[in-house]
Amino acid sequence: MIVLQEFTQPEFDLGAIVPIIATFAAAVIGVGVDAFAPARRRAIVHVSMAVVALTVSLAWAIAAVGDAPVTTFNGALAIDGPTVFAQAAIAIFTLLSVLVYTERSLDPAGDAFTPAGASMPGSEVERVLTLQRVRQTEVYPLTMFAAAGMMMFVASNDLLTMFVALEVLSLPLYLLSSLSRRKRLLSHEAGLKYFLLGAFASAFFLYGSSLVYGATGSLNFTEIDAGISSRVGVDSLLLVGTGMIAVGLLFKISAVPFQFWTPDVYQGAPTPVTGFMAAATKTAAVIALMRVFYVALGGLVEDWTVLLWVIAAVTMVLGSVLALTQTDVKRMLAYSSIAHAGFLLVGLVSADEAGTAAVLFYLLAYGLATVGAFACVTLVRDAAGEATHLSAWAGLGRRSPVLASVFALFLLSFAGIPLTSGFVGKLVVFSAAFDSGEWVLVLIALLSSAIAAFFYVRVIVLMFFADPAEGGATVGVPSAGTTAVITATALLTVLLGVVPGPVLELASMAAEFVR
Amino acid sequence: MTFPVLTALVVVPILGALITALVPSDRTAKLTAIAASLVTLALTVVAALQFELGGPLYQLTEQVSWIAPFGLYWSLGLSGISLALIALTAVATPVVLGAMWNEADGSGRSVKAFYALVLVLQAMTVGAFLSTDVLLFYILFEAMLIPMYFLIGLYGGDKRQYAAMKFLLYNLFGGLVMLAAVIGLYLQAPAGQRSFLLADLVALDIDSTTQGWLFLGFMIAFAIKAPLWPLHTWLPDAATEATPSQAAYLSGVVDKVGTFGMVALVLPLFPDASRTFAPVVVTLAVISIIYGGLVAIGQTDVKRIIAFSSISHFGVIVLGIFALTSQATTGATFYMVSHGLSTGALFLVAGFMIARRGSRQLADYGGLQKPAPILAGFLLVAGLSGLAMPGLATFVSEFMVLVGTFSRYQVAAAIATFGIVLSALYILIMYQRTMTGPTTPETENTPDLRGREVVIVAPLFVLMIALGVAPSVVLDPVDDATQQTLDEVGVTDPEPVFAVEGGEE
């Protein structure tokens, strides 16, 4: 029997969602630009729109830190501290990545993207398009769609909105992963793998949502929370649903055991896209995971902290240990990204505001260093494109001391050496967890850091102490965009390590989820 | 506002390093670096003159909030102990910079970076000696690994990569364990009143179980750095593969941060645990003394002999610190200085010798005292200092440690005294094999020390003798600080077994 409820006009607070609107607008208009603008102007129009939209989003989000939190769109979107902090971070990462996308002076054939994703690798069509210097410009709207999806994902306050946002951010990423100009088969494999496993994870999320709906009678986080508080006894439906939702989200942040796609996708995707995915997707998924667990499933805190505790420990250890055996820079950074997912989960386990603030800072620090590190990877090349095999990096410190030093800086930040942002990030995350009594987890985290330091340092050894290999890689001279990105990320990595105070304060102002 | 002399002691070497890296020619870079280290030396003298005997434990203090959200301060203070150690650093740095003049030439590596890295290392070491904020200390303690790592890995011998990696991993591991303890210590204060300031942390009342764990975290890091058996194995590799001047700087100066941390941080922060675990640490220290000495005797490589002798001597320092008597602890701190001078001199003079022959093996030498009498003389005096010859600074300090230890741990002191016998053995064996006996065709034309080399190492020898004759220059300020530290630990010196007749009432 259907019960008609009194219809109330939902409240639409458009001012609160300006970052989402601006980014979506750039994406949607971008589709039109690609259809109608003359080919030679498309890229510049796309980039200008992206820069304007993301700058507006960034400024709006930063200005909103500390504002009173609101839920709007009938409770579907929550605009609170973590939302706006994450939106600002995503805007920064996207802006930097778009600048790396524009790089055209490294590859003699053009930028990092294939002229036509649908052409067979090695085919005549591909050759002709390359000769005609046809330029793929759909990557810009695709990236903006992904970024807009992420901004919506972090604000989602019910499971359905969250699922829609998840798909909006994921589908463009699947496509972007398969658009590499070089090593196209690897790139296709990456796209397909990411799509299949991602679709599988989304299905888990959706099924988990329906179970939670069944158990609590609502999709809205606040109402789920109320439903959980009023339940009696253990509800297996609810627990299974929680677990399945966790699977969907942990997949996106590459936590063990849902990390299998990460090395392949990070390696196969065009490197600028890899940087974007590693930084922005992780930010979005971690915030979404926190919102689901803290706001909707706060009543089950004792159950899910056990789950996250175990996953954090396994992720840190396995990510660090597996990275030891890698011989490819991009795969190594992928495993490092897995290990960092573990470190972030340590912050989630503490389940308090100090932990949230710590995670927010960590995400920003890690994301900046990641975008910078992958931008560095695009510069090291040989005849076949990027030379990502570690042997090609031997002696890089002699041939290009500046690039090698900057890359070493990012690695030291990943390793958490003092005076870099990574150290401050680890310090705040670990002290928040320690304060919640999780000192065993902190010890595991520190031991994993020691293991992780080994493989970061190994790359530094290779770059500085080894002699240059015969036929090794050369370092390309990048255009202004990539140079600006590497400079900015390196400076911020040092700055956040030396004077993190203002950003830490911003993060602790933004640490409360609206309920 | 008064001139922040302590901050200047950290900033000047950093600025010096920047300028050194930017000047056009290698020769200018070398001279710039030496000039910067001399400015630091002058500043150290200024700081020493302002230091008041009998004043508060930390003087000339400076405190600026650095990262306010978690109570990190740029907080420096000069105690008698840190004064002694920054003076050692200030003297040793120009000497080392002079001694490494030719070491990077022809290696194909940047000479400017070589000099700049040493200055960066100096800044961090001095900063660690001066910091009165535990997190600041940790940051510098950890960050100083990076320049040292590059100094070994870029400019060292054949197995430099292995040695640099081993050095880094050992010390990084120790540092991360210490980080856990630093965080744990910080969280002992109630939320809202937390800071990393040493004074705030010392004032905390921590239960003895927690103290035990935190003590362990700090001590693992310092025992690796110092190094103490069984965590010592990185030092022989690092010191052997590093260039002689870097080996001198590493074991003479930089590693003193570990023993400094024990006196200046561990004792005041964890008084209960220090008292409880002192017998354990004393046992490890005695093992270090004997083990280092025995292994040194068995070595055939000159630098490995000196490296193992350092392990033995670090054992003496740690023994003195944890004997927890004023005489032993003061003696141990004085030993940090005299060991810095004597090991530094040994590594440098041995380095001059190795540079002439191109080999580190004892078997390749013999009869050098005929063609190179000055070299032989310097090696002998440096060696005698290593075996604590009366009249030299090491004698005073080693004697104080042993006597001070005896009043509490008779057996440990008795066993440790055998260390002196062992040191006489390995030093004299080294001297005998290299300098005495008939010359070989390869050694008969060895050139003697040049004037430049004599001038460079002379300050170390002058100080060794001067401090042996007039040790009170160092002992008075150090004694001041150790007395106050031991008061905080809550130990008093044991009554002498036999009262001196007609002694004080």
- What is the spatial distance between Cα B211 and Cα B275, in angstroms, rounded to a whole number? 11
Residue B166 maps to a domain:
no
Residue B441 forms part of a structural domain? yes
Model confidence over A324-381: pLDDT tens digits?
Answer: 888 898 999 999 999 999 999 999 998 888 889 999 999 999 999 999 999 999 888 8
Which residues of A are less than 8 Å from B66 in CB distance? 499, 501
What does the pLDDT profile of chain B (505 residues) look like in tens digits?
Answer: 578 888 888 888 989 888 888 888 888 888 888 888 889 899 899 888 888 887 787 888 888 888 777 788 888 888 888 888 999 999 989 888 888 877 777 677 778 888 888 999 999 999 999 999 998 999 899 888 888 888 888 887 778 888 888 888 888 888 888 888 888 888 888 777 788 888 888 888 888 888 888 899 899 999 998 888 888 888 888 888 888 888 888 888 888 899 999 988 888 888 888 888 989 999 999 999 999 888 888 888 888 888 888 888 899 999 998 888 888 888 898 899 989 988 888 888 888 888 877 777 877 777 777 788 888 888 888 888 888 878 888 888 888 888 888 888 888 888 888 888 888 888 888 888 888 877 777 777 778 778 888 888 888 888 888 888 888 888 888 888 888 888 877 777 776 656 555 544 3
Minimal-distance CA residue of chain B relative to A446: B176
Best mutation site among B14, B22, B67 for testing chain A: the one with the most A CBs within 10 Å?
Answer: B67
Shortest CA distance from B66: residue in chain A: A499
Tell me if B320 sits within 8 A of B399, measured CB to CB: no
Residue B252 belongs to a domain: no
End-to-end CA distance of chain B: 48
Interatomic CA distance for residues A84 and A95, integer angstroms: 16
> What distance in Å separates the CA atoms of residue A132 and residue B325, rounded to the nearest whole number?
84
Of the residues B70, B141, B158, the best mutation for testing chain A's interface (the one with the most A CB atoms within 10 Å of its CB) is B70
One-letter identity of residue A290: M
User: B191 contacts in A (CB within 8 Å)?
Assistant: 435
A499 to chain B: which residues are within 8 Å by CB?
A: 66-67
The reply to whether residue B165 touches residue A461, judged by beta carbons under 8 angstroms, is yes
B177 in a domain, yes or no?
no
Contact between B67 and A446 using a beta-carbon 8 Å cutoff: no
**Are the Cβ atoms of B183 and A427 closer than 8 angstroms?**
yes
Interface ipTM > 0.85? no
Asked if residue B459 belongs to a domain, the reply is yes
Helix intervals (H) in B436-470: 451-469
Number of domain units in chain B? 1
Domain limits for position B467: 270-493
Residue B344 lies in a domain: yes
Minimal Cα–Cα distance from A486 to chain B, Å?
22
A449 in B contact zone (CB under 8 Å): yes
Contact check, Cβ <8 Å, B187/A428: no
On whether residue B96 sits in a domain, the answer given is no
| Of the partner residues B69, B139, B160, the one whose CB lies closest to the CB of residue A419 | B139
Q: What is the pLDDT of residues B31-52, one digit of tens each?
A: 888 888 889 899 899 888 888 8
Question: Read out DSSP for A268-318?
Answer: HS-HHHHHHIIIIIHHHHHHHHHHIIIIISGGGHHHHHHHHHHHHHHHHHH
Spell out which chain B residues touch chain A, with contact meaning CB-CB distance below 8 angstroms: 66-70, 138-140, 142-143, 145-146, 149-150, 153-154, 160-161, 164-165, 168-169, 172-173, 176-177, 179-180, 183-184, 186-187, 191
Residue A465 three-state SS: coil
With an 8 Å Cβ cutoff, are A504 and B150 in contact? no
| Short-list A190, A46, B170, CA closest to B162 | B170
pTM of the entire predicted model: 0.87
